[in-house]
Amino acid sequence: MTGWDCESAVNHSGVKRGVLEKLRNSPYLQAFTNRRMAVMILLGFGSGLPLPLTAGTLQAWLTVAGIDIKTIGIFSLVGVPYTLKFFWSPFMDRFVPPWLGRRRGWIVSMQFLLLLGIAAMPLTSPGSMPLVLAFIAMGVAFFSASQDIVIDAYRTDVLPESERGIGVAVFIFGYRIAMLVGGALALIMSDHIGWQKTYIFMALFMIFGMVGAFVGREPDHHIVPPRTMQEAVWGPLKDFFSRKAAVVIILFIILYKLGDAYAGALSTAFLIRGVNFTPTDVGTINKGMGLIATIVGALFGGTLMVKMGLFRSLWYFGILQMVSNLSFMVLAIIGKSYPAMIVAVAFENLSGGMGSTAFVAFVMALCNKRFSATQFALLSSLAVLGRVVISPTSGYIVTYVGWANFFLFTTLAALPGLFLVLYLKGEITALDSRGTT
């Protein structure tokens, strides 16, 4: 080897080492590869698994068993605990289990009860014991909602400010994978091994969530829980409303995802009835590819948040959410077009995943770690309020103005949330720079 070759090899080796060192020190890679992210994906999986097993998958089981449609409709009440979970969240802020600490102790307790509850569901028969099955399913939903309360609080307490976006994104990834396992995989398995064995098999998947709870560390032991139930109930409200912009923040929480939620309320009906795609098209592209785009959007958004910070993420991701609704307006104008459908679905889900990551990180930043279970439960319930209130009006608007104008309207509905991002710039920047205690 000549001297020139040796020198070239040395230089090349040095460049390679420099690149590796740069990658090793990258804040993005460091954030993704620490133990907290492994815990987030496992807890996300544990959080997402029970929901389909008490909703769509349970509905499929009842349908196959020949249960009448009225009874199946009544079974939808099983999901009520998810909407009321803030009522008992102060209890989980106040009391500390005698094992694993205030957060992980509750998480493991709920996961163990979930494993037993899901395994108990197939011991009943939808045909002969529908009320018993409904009672057990509601118990599973209650334990699942309770688990969500504490996991949301744990995520808020344990993630440093710089990792909130990525932590939320990784959690969403685990959650969505669990939804596939408890939904699509469970339905496929039921055709081959029956519903009883399927549900028992699904119950064992809760072990993944338990591993996450055991592997994770308990949040800072210096955080002092509420001393009384009165403090646990009123302390979160007093703490939140001590902010000078508290009312505006509440409006922002209600309005930020409003346009996105408004458009999503009738997206499936639009694709089938508005532009005449088949249910297979919708299932493959809107549901399948849309799920992948949401996960990619969440991970991409979480990664960008490391560099961009909270304010710029909320602003730019919010703009993308708003503009994505126009892609459905274009589809409504040009009619049935597979390329246009793919672009619209991918754009809407990608930007929605990015916006959701930034929004959840913002809610986490608002929470006082003494009351994070109660505050997160209350604030996340407010976030759903706008969707619940306005979604029933969507069909009337389509009837009067048509699909294209409806999606234009949903785009305009996103503007108030964006204006409030600018109005709250000082508050958001302060949260991003110092976090909460």
DSSP state string for 289-302 = IHHHHHHHHHHHHH
The rounded distance, in Å, linking the Cα atoms of 107 and 173 is 19
Q: d(Cα 81, Cα 78) in Å, to the nearest integer?
A: 7
272 — pLDDT class (breaks 50, 70, 90) = confident
Q: What is the pLDDT of residues 21-53, one digit of tens each?
A: 554 555 555 555 677 888 999 999 999 999 889
CA 109 – CA 229 distance, rounded (Å): 21
**Residue 301, pLDDT score:** 87
Domain definitions of the chain by residue range: 24-223, 230-434
Predicted local confidence at residue 113, as pLDDT = 96
Helix/strand/coil percent split, the chain, to 5? 85, 0, 15
Question: 369 pLDDT exceeds 90?
Answer: no
Q: Is 99 helix (H, G, I), strand (E, B) or coil?
A: coil
Q: Are 48 and 176 in contact (CB under 8 A)?
A: yes
pLDDT over 60 at 9, yes or no: no
Please indicate whether the domains covering 24-223 and 230-434 agree at the CATH topology level: yes
Comparison of pLDDT for 278 and 387, the residue scoring more: 278
Chain segment 288-299, per-residue pLDDT in tens: 788 888 888 888
Q: Where does the pLDDT of residue 163 fall: very low under 50, low under 70, confident under 90, or very high at 90 and above? A: confident
Q: What separation in angstroms does the CA of 17 have from each of 14, 20, 21, 29, 295?
A: 5, 5, 6, 16, 32
**CB of 41 within 8 A of CB of 174?**
yes
Buried b / exposed e along 164-194 (16+ C-beta atoms within 10 A): bbbbbbbbbbbbbbbbebbbbbbbebbeeee
Range 234-240 average pLDDT: 90
DSSP H helical segments within 95-163, as ranges? Answer: 102-120, 130-158
The whole-number pLDDT of residue 116 equals: 95
Q: What's the CATH number of domain 230-434, 1.10.1240.10, 2.30.40.10, 1.10.10.520, 1.20.1250.20?
A: 1.20.1250.20
- 3-state SS, 226-270, equals CCCHHHHHHHHHHHHCCCCCHHHHHHHHHHCCHHHHHHHCCHHHH
- Mean pLDDT is lowest, of 27-31, 179-183, 433-437, for 433-437
Residues 33 and 360: their CA atoms lie apart, in Å, by: 21
Averaged over 402-417, what is the pLDDT? Answer: 90
Contact 56, 184 (CB under 8 A): no
Q: For residues 219 and 50, is the Cβ–Cβ distance under 8 A? A: no
Phi, psi (5° rounding) for residue 318? -65, -40
Total residues belonging to the chain: 437
Chain segment 115-127, per-residue pLDDT in tens: 999 999 998 888 7
Taking the C-alpha atoms of residue 94 and residue 223, their distance in angstroms, rounded to an integer, is: 12
Q: How far apart are the C-alpha atoms of 363 and 374, rounded to whole Å?
A: 12
- Count how many Cα atoms sit within 13 Å of the Cα of residue 275 in the half-sphere of its side chain: 24
What does CATH list as the number for 24-223? 1.20.1250.20
Q: Are the C-beta atoms of 215 and 52 separated by less than 8 Å?
A: no
